[in-house]
Structure 1
């Protein structure tokens, strides 16, 4: 009798615990966009962009720290210098031109009001190859191998992370309500080829270490790699074991790389390593050329392009990956060279991208980013 009663009580308690325990649900994914020259937007264009991204449920906008002097992709630009307009500054405060940082101060406050955080790319291979201060001093290959170049570049990263926001009065490294993540460079080393990247994986981890050293381990801000040219090049084994890296960024424009079956093995690798993945750049070419090589050509039919957008977004969603589209414009798309862009103004593909982004927000995620989103 006692044993029987004990069993009954145990069973009832177990049932109660099961009913009262919180139900663990898989996280949802999300979508976002890129606009590398966002610091140059005038107020009206900034509002158009942020309202558009919000209407699509997009949560992250990736922006670059560089200089812009002329209009880009049909967008009027309020010109600004690079952070280091003439030479690597190596920590000399008087050498830096903080205009781009101050522009992004305003931008991130505006973005926050629309439920959007910034992913900040702190330099770009594009600037290096266009002979910016580091390109002039070191050239493309030596920038990644010269110890002085690494020291000077780390000083750039530290300067950015410690920039005190002009209205919030806190350094960027403490602004986790406004900043999703930092990455040292867009597509680091891509001009030197995949074998160079494979041989110099430590460069990426060392730069991440510099960033993480400023952020600390509980900042609520992620450290990312900044991507490479394609899927296999974007995910390197040493990055999966680098303590300072939180997220491996995938850049992929080849249609094979955008398939669920191609992406899933990398998802498994990252999960096993305790890292996150994100498709940080992808896009659907406007022209009828190969999707990963579309400098010019005849325009695809709207139905074909929209079908591509929905298909590839669904494939990425199917792999459980969040994604950022390249790029959403606050203006009509002029369809210039390498045209993946989609304009918020009068673009027949904008409603399709909105649809895809909203679907991403309902998709099951392989990696939980919810703590880093608004």
Structure 2
């Protein structure tokens, strides 16, 4: 009896430490990344500069868009390329697609992998739709999201991208989990139609995710994301949280109130309850002395003030348990043109602040475990 009575608390104590150990193992570190929407247009020297810079800061994911570019962007020299569907929606006609952008990204993702970076691939953008790309000309910014034919044709675009066979790896993109972090159908879908339209057409997002997941399967090692909306509350919709095909809800936020731990934490809880992940996919610190979410032009903000904003807001996001992608890191000096959140890798006093913030993110405890999807 004495042996039994003394052994019981010992067993309980061991069980406690085993449970504590399991909880520690389950906890994961966060991470940071960035975006460069026109990455497919970089010349090799700029690509190397960018990837070395990302690696030096521990930035693990680069978000890139599938679109066309014909001129320099943010001071970056561009090797021009067409959109995937230059003239009309192709609806699965292989002879109609211009795969130049996909082939450029083939090279880019192999180079990125060598620097410990994976790509998050945005398969279309509301920006292109609103600028009258093939879908904008055919359907406009409203019917694109409600017309059955438009959705069928757009799903064919998604299928074409996912099944593009990499020019050197000889596998379709949907099988390249070592190189691709995730796919999202569109950047900021529906934002030009207003929040009520987004709320009324949540199923569009889920249906497109279903198309992507239908190609990837359930165990691809590649995530399916939403692509974000205009601000925090608009980015996290109940229909997104309940959609089986969506893995990650993307938050876009530039208003300072949306970048606080207290504002973000309730959405973290919602996502955890729904079995989803969250990422703060777009945020930035305005270069000008205007409101942070209204940054077209103005007087330059004091560098120390801007650097303090970067570090402070990143700490707030980290404290909420969210990984984040900064908008954007440039492989050149920032020309400080309109809507300037960018940070250049050349002579930019804010680059060191972003490096510091990114390295701190890698040490922060995350509310969601992305470790299986990172290099």
In which range does the TM-score fall when normalised by the shorter chain?
Answer: over 0.9
Matches of 1:165 and 1:188, distance apart in 2? 27
Aligned partner of 2:365 in structure 1 is: 364
Structure 1 position 148, deviation (Å): 0.3
Matches of 1:121 and 1:264, distance apart in 2? 26
Matches of 1:20 and 1:295, distance apart in 2? 54
* Aligned: 1:204 with 2:205: yes
Matches of 2:170 and 2:347, distance apart in 1? 39
Q: Deviations over 1:25-49 (max 9, x none)?
A: 2211100000000000000100000
Structure 1 position 6, deviation (Å): 4.0
Structure 1 position 18, deviation (Å): 6.0
Matches of 1:294 and 1:19, distance apart in 2? 51
Aligned partner of 1:183 in structure 2 is: 184
Aligned partner of 1:345 in structure 2 is: 346
Structure 1 unaligned regions, length at least 5? none
Structure 1 position 5, deviation (Å): 3.0
* Aligned: 1:5 with 2:3: yes
Structure 1 position 281, deviation (Å): 0.2
| Paired residue secondary structure (1:361) | helix
Q: Deviations over 1:327-357 (max 9, x none)?
A: 0000000000000000011100000000000
| Paired residue secondary structure (2:168) | coil
Aligned partner of 2:60 in structure 1 is: 59
Aligned partner of 2:166 in structure 1 is: 165
Q: Deviations over 1:88-110 (max 9, x none)?
A: 00000110000000000010011
Q: Deviations over 1:203-239 (max 9, x none)?
A: 0000000000000011110000000000011000111
Matches of 2:134 and 2:207, distance apart in 1? 21
Structure 1 position 24, deviation (Å): 3.2
Matches of 2:145 and 2:260, distance apart in 1? 32
| Paired residue secondary structure (1:59) | strand
Structure 1 position 20, deviation (Å): 6.8
Structure 1 position 19, deviation (Å): 6.1
Aligned partner of 2:101 in structure 1 is: 100
Q: Deviations over 1:286-342 (max 9, x none)?
A: 001111011100000101111111111111111110000000000000000000000
| Paired residue secondary structure (1:24) | helix
Matches of 2:6 and 2:110, distance apart in 1? 58
Matches of 1:218 and 1:149, distance apart in 2? 29
Structure 2 unaligned regions, length at least 5? none
Structure 1 position 251, deviation (Å): 0.3
> What pairs with 1:66-85 in structure 2 (closer than 5 Å)?
66-85=67-86
Structure 1 position 138, deviation (Å): 0.4
| Paired residue secondary structure (1:144) | coil
Aligned partner of 2:329 in structure 1 is: 328
Matches of 2:240 and 2:91, distance apart in 1? 26
- How many residue pairs match? The answer is 372
Matches of 2:191 and 2:9, distance apart in 1? 61
Change (3 A) 1:304 1:157: same
Matches of 2:254 and 2:342, distance apart in 1? 13
Matches of 2:68 and 2:2, distance apart in 1? 77
Aligned partner of 1:355 in structure 2 is: 356
Structure 1 position 15, deviation (Å): 5.5
Q: Deviations over 1:34-89 (max 9, x none)?
A: 00000000001000000000100110000000000100000000010000001000
| Paired residue secondary structure (1:145) | coil
Aligned partner of 2:23 in structure 1 is: 24
Aligned partner of 2:227 in structure 1 is: 226
Structure 1 position 12, deviation (Å): 5.3
> What pairs with 1:74-153 in structure 2 (closer than 5 Å)?
74-153=75-154
Structure 1 position 116, deviation (Å): 0.6
